[in-house]
Structure 1
Amino acid sequence: MPASYSRRTVLRGIGTAVALPLLDVMSPTRLLSAASPSSGPPLRMGFFYVPNGMHMPDWTPSKEGFKFDLPPTLAKLADHQDEINVLSGLTLDGARAHGDGGGDHARSVAAFLTGAHPRKTNGADIQNGISVDQMTAKYVGDSTRFSSLELGLEASAQAGNCDSGYSCAYASNMSWRGPTNPMSKEIDPGALFDRLFAGQVVKETKQAKSVREKYRKSILDFVLEDANRLHKTLPAIDQRKLDEYLYSVRDVEKRIGGVERLRMTEDGVPDYPRPSGVPKELSKHCELMMDMVTLAYQTDSTRILSFMFTNAGSNRSYPEIGVSEGHHETSHHGKSEHKQANIAKINRFHIERFAYLLDRMKQTPEGNGSLLDNCMLVYGSGISDGDRHNHDNLPILLAGAAGGKIKTGRHIQYGKDTPLCNLYVWMMQQMGAKTDQFGDSNGSLGQLS
């Protein structure tokens, strides 16, 4: 066995292959090939969208700079305060009406990653802009198996009238490959698991898939021999990383498989197809998807992804936290104390799920730090106050240090109507894109480095 391995090294087994996390022996300084110009772990970007705005009094810190007091919604991120920046004052002008009347929810998500003002239509003549994730994928997407991943908890739609004459394509997709090409989301953890781990390098054979489905064997069972062989050749620190990674994969696979009860034949063999993997409880569904996000980044399967907690204008209720009213209905609080309290509960529910992701990534060692250290993750909404439907002073949070390029742990206040797209220009530049303009940007966002 060689003393060092490529980032493309995989574990192989009967008709399938499983990607590996970034190990120390894959460090560019130890690789024999000089194919990669990187001097450390790869940089990743991600975008996490929540609908219907925010209860801003519980979101906005009272002080700027370091050591700011965490308001009630952000208190769920107390363990990560030194790894985030709260960015106030950013604006999404493309989500404003500009003479088109109602439809702020659809516009807010359609413009969130594009900076464009979508054409108001519920027909086939949709028109938006390319999104920042897809634009960046043009520069770095060929470095990974998936140029990008589009994920969420509610399915995408490509037609229909979803918001005051705006197509459902706008309301349920935030990633756009081009002005007329929304990218549908994957919402099934089981299907996503299969995309990440089943038949990665060589196509999984029908025989192997049949055996695995018949006896409910783990994908890892098929690569165990190769994993044990590799384990013996690694230094102690990489042996530990490999063990932790394989445990995580097995754990996620078990949780997906346990979503639906097995239907057994008389001889004890399952007789049902691959389970859908979508738990009924939103919290469990979301946490499984966040585990997938971690694994996708950890294996360098992709460096770019987007995630919609729910679609724009979602009126989902949240019985898990005692909110029986719909989210959209509650966001139109009309200064009702009861509704404002409920919208704040929903906001905290979402941020807690994001905190779960940050926990997982922080606990995943990579290079001289953690997986989170090598990411820049945007969390927020294209609407500020759901009752006012305003698109200025948005609730935007940036997590991760981008490989040391971001000075974290601050609340940064930007000037009035600073374009959100200025942030995207800065992020694209860190990813290696040679650009100084995106959407309605008027520069690259300052104060981050």
Structure 2
Amino acid sequence: MHTHHFSRRAFLRGAGVSMALPWMESFNVWGDEPKRDKPASEAPVRLCVTFSGNGFHSQEWWAKGEGKGMELGKVLQPLHEFREKLLFVRGLYHEEARKGNIHSSQTGNMLSGAPIASGGEIRSGTSFDQVLAQTYGRSTKVPSLVLACEKSNPSVHKNYSMLYSSHISWSSPTTPTPLELYPALAFDRLFKDEASPADKSVLDAVLAEARDLKRDISLNDQRKLDEYLDSVRDVEKRIENAGKRGELQGWRPTLEKPNIKRPADGIPQDIGEHMKLMIDLLVLGFQTDTTRITTLKLNNDHSALRFPNLPSVQQAGHGIDYMIHHLLSHSDGEDWLKVNQFFIGQLAYLARKLDSIQEGPRTLLDNTMLMHCSSMMAGARHDNDQLPVIVLGGAGGRLKGGRVLDYKDKPERQLCRLFMSMMDKMGQHPKIFGDAKMMLEEV
């Protein structure tokens, strides 16, 4: 086996295209220098924050016990296989989110804990993912990838802009980070030097250099490179096919006039495929080290999504498309629970993909902090005196799962304390963030 040492990150390059390589044992992909307490080729810690609006079923968001013996409420059942890598955090909240109105004021500071401006003004706070992107993210081609599966809402609700309900990532106090809704454009951002229509496959553009590289790496790395190139091709084909179906690519007129009745409001029909495509791109971004920081907003708070893909329990023979997500959240019925499990199922799909990718002694999930959150505990009450928060993954061995941490009756229970702990595991050590002045020591 040949051993290579690079002073900067390694890329495969073609005409107008660059692709960062996945973690390999044969050379130092990440470009860091060897240290006594950190091997030179140790994979970096990644951060992914996923969000779903309007909270969860009020009786079924819970966890108890530890390790393999951890028990999960029905909402979290899709994550049963990952309970040893799951940190359930109870009782944290944002004081500023309890002021103002519901929805907008509860979401606009989700990742910052900052005060929210009313009266049409847009002002919140820089979210912790973007604080990391401005420092930790500079070492990658894309400092942060901000994905969404429901478009931003520009209207006003009870004297507050609904832009707050549509964005969790903020680049500055007055700038919500632009959302990428379309898988093809997200793919371009990750793998093309210029986000423009391509006349050839990203993969084809770099195959020649990939063949040269294979001669100088170990057999294990050759297999890893082949698997990676296959996964890139698979996503390319799926995006191309989605475009042919008229889905996921935005509006593409193919007729002079409609030949079907107007469909229900919302994003393209197959919301499950949309979410999975975004997750696949997210994983590729991490796998190639093209980005280390991602947020994925599965829907808005005050969401208008419908779920015809999910069979209704309450209305037999129909999908759950008789009511938008926001209104459905006002009850604790069986369909609401089913929608909750659908969202957590996307998180399980993401965790499963991350956990299937080996990076030296750990998996990609072991090297990631994957936090899922919502702006309220239960949509039926719009209550946010405590917020639903879970963290999956190992942060490169710095985070221990299989635990329940309860801060409900403790005086210092700011959610920003968790953010400080997560930033610390990525090498950033703020003295203060939002309304917090210290980390959560247990995390």
Instruction: Provide the rounded CA distance (Å) in 1 between the counterparts of 2:280 and 2:424.
Output: 28
Q: CA 1:36–1:144 in structure 2 vs 1: closer, same or farther (change >3 Å)?
A: farther
Give the aligned partner of residue 356 of structure 1.
Answer: 349
SS at match of 1:376: strand
Identify the match of residue 132 of structure 2 among 128, 133, 136: 136
Superposed CA RMSD: 2.7
**Comparing 278-287 with 229-238, which one deviates more in the overlay?**
278-287
Greater fraction of residues in helix: 1
Q: Is contact 2:19–2:288 with CA below 8 Å preserved after alignment?
A: no
Instruction: Provide the rounded CA distance (Å) in 2 between the counterparts of 1:407 and 1:294.
Output: 22
Give the aligned partner of residue 280 of structure 1.
Answer: 269
Q: Is contact 1:64–1:413 with CA below 8 Å preserved after alignment?
A: no
What's the offset of the Cα at 1:276? 4.8
Identify the match of residue 401 of structure 1 among 380, 394, 413: 394
Instruction: Provide the rounded CA distance (Å) in 1 between the counterparts of 2:243 and 2:52.
Output: 28
**Is 1:69 aligned with 2:71?**
yes
Q: CA 1:328–1:15 in structure 2 vs 1: closer, same or farther (change >3 Å)?
A: closer
What's the offset of the Cα at 1:297? 0.9
What's the offset of the Cα at 1:92? 2.0
Identical residues among aligned pairs (%): 35
Give the aligned partner of residue 93 of structure 2.
Answer: 91
Q: CA 1:370–1:170 in structure 2 vs 1: closer, same or farther (change >3 Å)?
A: same
Q: CA 1:15–1:386 in structure 2 vs 1: closer, same or farther (change >3 Å)?
A: closer
Residues 170-195 of structure 1: CA deviation (Å, up to 9, x unaligned): 11111112111111110111001111
Instruction: Provide the rounded CA distance (Å) in 2 between the counterparts of 1:247 and 1:275.
Output: 22
AA in 1 matched with 2:21: L
AA in 2 matched with 1:391: N
Give the aligned partner of residue 174 of structure 2.
Answer: 180
Question: Unaligned 5+ residue runs, structure 1?
Answer: 264-273, 334-338
AA in 2 matched with 1:4: H
Alignment of 1:352-431 (within 5 A): 352-416=345-409, 418-431=413-426
TM-score w.r.t. the length of structure 1 is: 0.86
What's the offset of the Cα at 1:229? 1.3
AA in 2 matched with 1:329: L
Q: Is contact 2:2–2:217 with CA below 8 Å preserved after alignment?
A: no
Instruction: Provide the rounded CA distance (Å) in 2 between the counterparts of 1:178 and 1:56.
Output: 33
Instruction: Provide the rounded CA distance (Å) in 2 between the counterparts of 1:32 and 1:259.
Output: 39
Give the aligned partner of residue 431 of structure 2.
Answer: 436
Instruction: Provide the rounded CA distance (Å) in 2 between the counterparts of 1:192 and 1:36.
Output: 38
AA in 2 matched with 1:365: Q
Q: CA 1:65–1:357 in structure 2 vs 1: closer, same or farther (change >3 Å)?
A: closer
What's the offset of the Cα at 1:156? 2.7
Q: CA 1:32–1:153 in structure 2 vs 1: closer, same or farther (change >3 Å)?
A: closer
Give the aligned partner of residue 225 of structure 1.
Answer: 208
What's the offset of the Cα at 1:64? 6.1
Give the aligned partner of residue 113 of structure 2.
Answer: 115
Q: CA 1:36–1:126 in structure 2 vs 1: closer, same or farther (change >3 Å)?
A: farther
Give the aligned partner of residue 236 of structure 1.
Answer: 219
Instruction: Provide the rounded CA distance (Å) in 1 between the counterparts of 2:420 and 2:112.
Output: 12
TM-score w.r.t. the length of structure 2 is: 0.87
Identify the match of residue 256 of structure 1 among 224, 239, 258: 239
SS at match of 1:300: coil
Give the aligned partner of residue 155 of structure 2.
Answer: 160
Question: Unaligned 5+ residue runs, structure 2?
Answer: 252-266, 312-319
Q: Is contact 1:107–1:118 with CA below 8 Å preserved after alignment?
A: yes
Instruction: Provide the rounded CA distance (Å) in 2 between the counterparts of 1:275 and 1:91.
Output: 37
Residues 33-74 of structure 1: CA deviation (Å, up to 9, x unaligned): 669996321111121111001113212124467622122111
